[in-house]
Structure 1
Amino acid sequence: MIRPVNDSALALTRFWFWHLLYWLGYLLLKYTHLSLLIPLQQEAAFPYLATYTLITVINLSLTGWLGTRELARPCTPAQQLQRLAVWLMPLLLLLIPLRQYLLTHYAMKSGPDMMTHWSHYLVVGIPLVLLPLCGWVAVFLLMKLNFFTLQQLENRQQLLKQARQARLKVLRYQLNPHFMFNTLNALNSLIVSRKGLAAEDLIQQLSAFLRHSLKNQDDQWVPLREELQALEAYLAIQQVRFGERLVLDWQLSATKPMQLPPLLFQPMAEQAILWTVAEQSGPIHLHIELTEPCEPGEQAGMLQFIIRSDAAGTETQLWPASQVPASLQQLQERLELLFGSRASLTLLNPAFGFYARLNLPLEVLYAAHPARDRGR
Structure 2
Amino acid sequence: MVQWQKLFENRERLFWTLHTGGWVGFAIIFYIGSFLHDMRSIWLFVIALNAYAGWLITIPLRYVFRWARQQSIWTMLFTVAISTYLTALLWAVVKNINAWEIYKHGYRPDEWYMYFTNTLNSLIMVVCWSGLYFGIKNFQMLQKEKQNALKASTMAHQAHLKMLRYQLNPHFLFNTLNAISTLILIKENQTAGKMVSRLSDFLRYSLDKDPIKRVELKQEVQALELYLEIEKVRFDERLSVEWEIQQDVLDAAVPSLILQPIIENAIKYAISKMENGGEIKILAKRFGNDLLLEVSDNGPGADIVDGRLQRASGQGVGLTNIRERLHSLYGDDFSFVVSHNHPNGVKVSIRIPFEVGEDAKQN
Give yes or no for TM over 0.5: yes
Which residue pairs with 2:234 in the alignment? 241
Q: Check whether the contact 1:345–1:359 (CA below 8 A) recurs between aligned residues.
A: yes
Instruction: Give TM-score scaled by structure 1 length.
Output: 0.80
Amino acid at match of 1:23: W
Q: Which deviates further from its counterpart, 86-95 or 161-170?
A: 86-95
Structure 2 CA distance for partners of 1:212 and 1:179, relative to 1, 3 Å: same
- 1:67-216 maps to which residues of 2 (within 5 A)? 67=62, 75=70, 78=73, 84-85=80-81, 87-108=83-104, 115-117=109-111, 119=113, 121-216=114-209
Which structure exhibits the higher relative contact order, with contacts defined as CA atoms closer than 8 Å and separated by 6 or more residues? 1
Secondary structure of 1:250's counterpart equals: strand
Q: Check whether the contact 2:199–2:230 (CA below 8 A) recurs between aligned residues.
A: yes
Residues 144-202 of structure 1, C-alpha deviations (whole Å, 9 max, x = no match): 22211221111111111111111111111111111111111111111122222221221
Secondary structure of 1:35's counterpart equals: coil
In structure 2, what is the Cα distance between the partners aligned to 1:258 and 1:72? 56
Amino acid at match of 1:338: L
In structure 2, what is the Cα distance between the partners aligned to 1:360 and 1:68? 54
Q: Check whether the contact 1:16–1:64 (CA below 8 A) recurs between aligned residues.
A: no
In structure 2, what is the Cα distance between the partners aligned to 1:146 and 1:243? 66
Q: Check whether the contact 2:8–2:14 (CA below 8 A) recurs between aligned residues.
A: no
Which residue pairs with 1:334 in the alignment? 325
Amino acid at match of 2:265: Q
Secondary structure of 2:272's counterpart equals: coil
Q: Check whether the contact 2:241–2:281 (CA below 8 A) recurs between aligned residues.
A: yes
In structure 1, what is the Cα distance between the partners aligned to 2:257 and 2:175? 19
* Identity score, percent: 25
1:53 counterpart (41, 48, 56): 48
Q: Check whether the contact 2:92–2:117 (CA below 8 A) recurs between aligned residues.
A: no
Alpha-carbon deviation of 1:125?
1.3
- 1:356-371 maps to which residues of 2 (within 5 A)? 356-363=348-355, 365=357, 367-368=359-360
Residues 83-123 of structure 1, C-alpha deviations (whole Å, 9 max, x = no match): 55565454334323222233334334777xx733553x444
Q: Say whether residues 1:253 and 2:273 are aligned partners.
A: no
Structure 2 CA distance for partners of 1:357 and 1:320, relative to 1, 3 Å: closer
Amino acid at match of 2:37: L
Residues 239-285 of structure 1, C-alpha deviations (whole Å, 9 max, x = no match): 11112211111112145324333111111111111220123332211
1:263 counterpart (257, 263, 283): 257
In structure 1, what is the Cα distance between the partners aligned to 2:63 and 2:330? 42
Structure 2 CA distance for partners of 1:363 and 1:12, relative to 1, 3 Å: farther
Q: Once superposed, what is the RMSD of the aligned Cα atoms?
A: 3.4
In structure 2, what is the Cα distance between the partners aligned to 1:339 and 1:330? 14
In structure 1, what is the Cα distance between the partners aligned to 2:300 and 2:78? 74
- Structure 1's unaligned 5+ residue stretches are 40-44, 294-299
Residues 62-97 of structure 1, C-alpha deviations (whole Å, 9 max, x = no match): 435654896799758957655555654543343232
Which residue pairs with 1:42 in the alignment? none
Q: Check whether the contact 1:249–1:288 (CA below 8 A) recurs between aligned residues.
A: yes
Q: Say whether residues 1:348 and 2:324 are aligned partners.
A: no
In structure 1, what is the Cα distance between the partners aligned to 2:319 and 2:16? 54
In structure 2, what is the Cα distance between the partners aligned to 1:240 and 1:220? 31
Q: Say whether residues 1:228 and 2:224 are aligned partners.
A: no
Instruction: Give TM-score scaled by structure 2 length.
Output: 0.83
Which residue pairs with 2:21 in the alignment? 21
Q: Check whether the contact 1:224–1:259 (CA below 8 A) recurs between aligned residues.
A: yes
In structure 2, what is the Cα distance between the partners aligned to 1:127 and 1:330? 68
Q: Check whether the contact 2:27–2:51 (CA below 8 A) recurs between aligned residues.
A: yes
Q: Check whether the contact 2:165–2:211 (CA below 8 A) recurs between aligned residues.
A: no
Amino acid at match of 2:279: H
Secondary structure of 1:292's counterpart equals: strand
Amino acid at match of 1:301: N
- Structure 2's unaligned 5+ residue stretches are none
Total equivalences in the alignment: 351
Amino acid at match of 1:337: S
In structure 2, what is the Cα distance between the partners aligned to 1:72 and 1:206? 63
Which residue pairs with 1:324 in the alignment? 315
Alpha-carbon deviation of 1:131?
1.3
Q: Say whether residues 1:304 and 2:292 are aligned partners.
A: yes
In structure 2, what is the Cα distance between the partners aligned to 1:70 and 1:105? 33
Secondary structure of 1:274's counterpart equals: helix
Q: Say whether residues 1:287 and 2:269 are aligned partners.
A: no
Alpha-carbon deviation of 1:231?
0.7
Alpha-carbon deviation of 1:363?
2.8
